Amino acid sequence: MDHDAYRKQSIERWERAAAGWSAQRARWARDTAPVSFRMVELADPQPGHTIVELACGAADVGLLAAELVRPGGKAILTDGSEAMLELARTRAEELDLPDVELKPMDAEWIDLPAADADAILCRWGLMLLADPSASLRECRRVLRPGGRLVLAAWAPEAENPWTAIAQEEAARMLGLDAPPTSKPREPGMFAWRDPQTIIEALHDVGFVDPHVEQVDMTLRFDDLDDWWDTLLDMSPSLYEGVAKLTPEQRDDLRDAVDARAEAASTGGDRIELPARTHVAFAEA
């Protein structure tokens, strides 16, 4: 893999995806709240602490922590995409948290002083990086000794039908071996599906006592159209894959994914699909 080409393409994709993430922001914050709360609980922010969020998007996690480091503390919210960081800025204004710091920043090169942060949060970002170990080394440098990293990475596809159904069927329609989110040894949504991968990555850069646990969620949609539109809004790789299909192929894809989503839904008239994430934590 050409790491530099991947980095450039990835950030360009997130810049384009920001409008869709903006449209889905409230629903995403609501349905992923169990993960946000657990991550903040594990980070244990206290008044006066400095907390950093990497790859923050709308900063659902970092803005919760920002409330808890007041007074006297500092919340630094960072993302490699300026358009995604804009979502965090809007949300911080809505929550009347004018003192959070928003910094465009690549998670592989954390432009912050050494041994300064009490906690670093990163939800569903690290496994997307070209070189996650570079970012983890940077996290360890920026954390004070004993400071905590708390991260989330998606559990296996089978536990995440809310998106895996669409990724798998689209890949099949495009004639790919595996969805672009799932190729082994490449960055992607499911690259850290095996908890052992996370433990080893943390150990390898010197983090102490890493643990991984699971958090379950339910993602809720009005109907199948709402589910599909949400996925296209939020998944740059799915959006690009579907754009390559003919109108007939798109219809066939919708038939295939709708049947699977309906079968997997637990929501009666609505579409409710299970989701599971790993939440990992370790000390610097």
Residues that bind ligand SAM (CB under 6 A): 10-11, 14, 55-57, 60, 79-81, 84, 106-108, 123-125, 128-129
How many Cβ atoms from other residues are within 10 Å of residue 5's Cβ? 10
Among residues 10 and 249, whose Cβ is nearest to ligand SAM? 10
Among residues 103 and 250, whose Cβ is nearest to ligand SAM? 103
In the complex, least distance from residue 262 CB atom to ligand SAM, rounded to whole angstroms: 26
> In sequence order, what DSSP letters do the residues of 89-122 get, joined into one string?
HHHHHHTT-TT-EEEE--TTS--S-TT-EEEEEE
For the chain, the helix, strand and coil percentages under 3-state DSSP, each to the nearest 5: 50, 20, 30
β-pairing verdict for 50-53 and 143-154: unpaired
Among residues 161 and 236, whose Cβ is nearest to ligand SAM? 236
In the complex, least distance from residue 108 CB atom to ligand SAM, rounded to whole angstroms: 6
In the complex, least distance from residue 30 CB atom to ligand SAM, rounded to whole angstroms: 12
Among residues 84 and 164, whose Cβ is nearest to ligand SAM? 84
In the complex, least distance from residue 175 CB atom to ligand SAM, rounded to whole angstroms: 26
Buried b (16+ CB within 10 A) or exposed e, 46-81: eeebbbbbbbbbbbbbbbbbbebbeeebbbbbbbbb
The 3-state secondary structure of 124-157 reads CCHHHCCCHHHHHHHHHHHEEEEEEEEEEEECCH
In the complex, least distance from residue 233 CB atom to ligand SAM, rounded to whole angstroms: 12
Among residues 107 and 120, whose Cβ is nearest to ligand SAM? 107
Contact, 59 vs 88, CB < 8 A?
yes
The contacts of residue 226 (CB under 8 Å, 6+ apart) are: 271
Among residues 182 and 258, whose Cβ is nearest to ligand SAM? 182
In the complex, least distance from residue 263 CB atom to ligand SAM, rounded to whole angstroms: 26
